[in-house]
């Protein structure tokens, strides 16, 4: 079950293969903003691509990354690998210990080993604290820019207009070179760290080299023919391949085969994602003559997204014929039935999917949705229990909170319906509604109880966020005046 979650926020680091021209524009804009804008404006949040939640995909990411996380001496319970809905071939880390994989990158990788190479590289950024240290590079570049702007302004004021403009231009170029050098050093460091993690985990580095080869081909297509990497955020892929080839070829893990079971899971996830995001292309890439599991998966999602429920059900039945008790095949059939207006028919496959997935919260939330959507009161008690368990195990799913709020509303428990709305609004980045709903919830819930304390926490966080937004708005008004 793919669905978009809350939107990511600012703090996004440089892409693995971002085109140079775009980055230079972004960097120079950032440097200019640092000079011209008040601090409060710099703190504003930026929405990023939406997070894609899917139990099978998250399980694959968890199992593929765990040996690498352990090799990096990080806590597997603290590091997350998250999928974003963005067609760009990109992966990055932000503040904290989260690795973001964009959908375009997953589509571009051929096997799970290439994905592990990307994850290993990004874990090098996590372990190296690069998302925190990037501020050092920005401050250094910004300081140099400010200094040369001041000198240039003084020169212009003294009548040396051309000289002043020359100083400013030279300063911006020097600041850009300073920052690019800083990021290239971080990227090279992450490459070396990633190679080490792969080796310790006993995973071949062929995937990392193969993926850098893909990036090298893309550089040629984009007409990036730099002889060196001076004007780039990353070393050229040819430089990275050269630096890593000797390391990997001498590594005992070089000849290790790709785990076939893990790669089969990868191919399933890649196909279902393709069918979900690009249904028209998916039916061409996976024609009906292809009777493999990934092809059935891709077509099932493509037909479902294209509103061909009978064809989608036929493909899900073909999957279940290969394994009648696969929880993700059962989940898919339940999703198709539910979203085709047959919630009562969806209950049976979703119940089994929940049970065989170990009560996976996202699947349980879908079962709760099906039970609620029947509008049959006999299912409401079960729905309430299923949804409460789901949010207790994973409270980051806004849709589960929405469904739980529906149940509370139908029971006449207005206070807890408001609390569920506050939880959902908080996850969706709507502090105004979260604050109002939390305040209303506190009025109807016993003071000091766990639910009351939770409502109080949401109200406090939302009030702080609203105050920040008000301050940014006032600062902008003052600047405009």
- Asked if the model's pLDDT at residue 140 lies above 90, the reply is no
pLDDT score at 16: 40
d(CA 192, CA 205): 11
pLDDT, tens digit, 9 for 90 and up, residues 85-137:
999 988 888 778 999 999 999 999 999 999 999 999 999 988 877 555 444 44
Confidence class of residue 231 from pLDDT cuts 50, 70 and 90? Answer: very low
pTM of the model: 0.78
- Contacts with 179 (C-beta within 8 Å, 6 or more apart), sequence order: 27, 137, 138, 140, 141
Judge contact between 36 and 142, C-beta under 8 A: no
- Contacts with 171 (C-beta within 8 Å, 6 or more apart), sequence order: 144, 145, 147, 148, 149, 151, 152
292 assigned to some structural domain: no
Structure-token pair, residue 48: 């990023």
Distances (CA, A) of 212 to 167, 181, 242, 253: 38, 20, 10, 19
The total number of structural domains that make up the chain? 2
pLDDT score at 4: 53
* Domain boundary pick from 221, 250, 279: 250
- Asked if the model's pLDDT at residue 306 lies above 90, the reply is yes
Confidence class of residue 375 from pLDDT cuts 50, 70 and 90? Answer: very high
Burial 441-462 (b: 16+ CB within 10 A, else e): bbebbeeeeeebebbbebbeeb
Q: Long-range contacts: 318-325, Cβ < 8 Å, 24+?
A: 318/291, 319/293, 322/293, 325/352, 325/356
- DSSP E strands in 191-345: the ranges are none
Judge contact between 24 and 65, C-beta under 8 A: no
Confidence class of residue 36 from pLDDT cuts 50, 70 and 90? Answer: very low
* Helix, strand, or coil (residue 83): strand
- Contacts with 218 (C-beta within 8 Å, 6 or more apart), sequence order: 17, 89
Residue 95: count of CB within 10 angstroms of its CB:
14
What stretches of 202-236 show up as alpha helix (H) in DSSP? 206-221
pLDDT, tens digit, 9 for 90 and up, residues 244-291:
898 999 999 999 999 999 999 999 999 999 999 999 999 999 999 999
342 assigned to some structural domain: no
- Asked if the model's pLDDT at residue 303 lies above 80, the reply is yes
Name the β-bridge partners of 385.
Answer: none
pLDDT, tens digit, 9 for 90 and up, residues 60-76:
999 999 999 999 999 99
pLDDT score at 125: 87
**Residue of 2, 106, 82 lying closest to 332 (CA atoms):** 2
d(CA 380, CA 86): 37
The boundaries of the domain holding residue 452 are 412-481
d(CA 20, CA 235): 12
* Euclidean distance between the first and the last CA atom of the chain, given in angstroms as a whole number: 50
pLDDT, tens digit, 9 for 90 and up, residues 443-479:
999 999 999 999 999 999 999 999 988 877 676 666 6
**Residue of 32, 237, 214 lying closest to 108 (CA atoms):** 214
Structure-token pair, residue 259: 């785990």
pLDDT score at 321: 98
pLDDT, tens digit, 9 for 90 and up, residues 48-60:
688 999 999 999 9
Return mean pLDDT, the chain. Answer: 81
- Contacts with 477 (C-beta within 8 Å, 6 or more apart), sequence order: none
39 assigned to some structural domain: yes
338 assigned to some structural domain: no
215 assigned to some structural domain: yes
423 assigned to some structural domain: yes
* Helix, strand, or coil (residue 366): helix
79 assigned to some structural domain: yes
52 assigned to some structural domain: yes
């Amino acid at each position: 079950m793919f669905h978009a979650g809350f939107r990511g926020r600012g703090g996004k680091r440089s892409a693995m293969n971002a085109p140079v021209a775009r980055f230079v524009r972004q960097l120079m804009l950032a440097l200019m903003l640092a000079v011209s804008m008040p601090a409060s404006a710099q703190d504003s949040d930026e929405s990023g691509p939406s997070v894609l939640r899917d139990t099978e995909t998250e399980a694959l990411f968890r199992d593929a990354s765990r040996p690498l996380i352990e090799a990096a001496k990080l806590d597997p319970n603290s590091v997350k690998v998250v999928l974003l809905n963005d067609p760009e071939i990109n992966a990055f880390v932000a503040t904290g210990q989260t690795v973001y994989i964009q959908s375009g990158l997953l589509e571009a990788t051929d096997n799970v080993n290439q994905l592990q190479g990307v994850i290993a590289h990004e874990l090098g950024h996590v372990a190296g604290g690069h998302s925190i240290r990037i501020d050092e590079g920005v401050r250094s570049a910004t300081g140099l820019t400010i200094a040369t702007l001041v000198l240039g302004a003084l020169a212009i004021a003294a009548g040396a207009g051309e000289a002043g403009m020359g100083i400013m231009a030279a300063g911006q170029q020097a600041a850009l070179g300073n920052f690019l050098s800083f990021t290239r050093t971080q990227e090279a460091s992450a490459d070396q760290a990633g190679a080490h993690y792969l080796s310790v985990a006993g995973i071949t580095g062929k995937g990392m080299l193969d993926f850098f080869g893909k990036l090298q081909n893309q550089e040629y297509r984009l007409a990036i023919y730099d002889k060196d990497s001076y004007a780039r955020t990353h070393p050229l892929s040819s430089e990275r391949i050269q630096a890593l080839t000797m390391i990997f070829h001498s590594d005992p893990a070089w000849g290790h085969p790709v785990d076939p079971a893990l790669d089969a899971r990868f191919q399933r996830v890649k196909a279902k994602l393709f069918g979900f995001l690009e249904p028209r292309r998916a039916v061409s890439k996976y024609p009906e003559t292809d009777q493999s599991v990934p092809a059935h998966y891709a077509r099932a999602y493509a037909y479902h997204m294209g509103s061909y429920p009978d064809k989608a059900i036929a493909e899900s039945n073909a999957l279940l014929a290969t394994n009648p008790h696969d929880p993700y095949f059962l989940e898919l059939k339940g999703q198709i039935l539910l979203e085709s207006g047959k919630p009562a028919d969806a209950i049976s496959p979703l119940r089994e999917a929940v049970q065989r997935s170990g009560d996976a919260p996202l699947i349980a939330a879908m079962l709760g949705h099906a039970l609620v959507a029947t509008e049959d009161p006999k299912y409401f008690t079960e729905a309430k229990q299923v949804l409460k368990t789901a949010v207790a195990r994973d409270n980051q799913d806004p849709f589960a909170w929405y469904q739980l709020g529906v149940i509370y509303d139908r029971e006449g428990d207005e206070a807890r319906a408001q609390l569920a709305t506050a939880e959902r609004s908080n996850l969706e980045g709507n502090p105004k509604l979260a604050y109002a709903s939390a305040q209303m919830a506190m009025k109807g819930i016993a003071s000091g109880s766990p639910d009351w304390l939770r409502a109080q926490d949401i109200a406090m966080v939302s009030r702080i966020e609203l105050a920040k937004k008000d301050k940014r708005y006032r600062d902008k008004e003052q600047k405009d005046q």
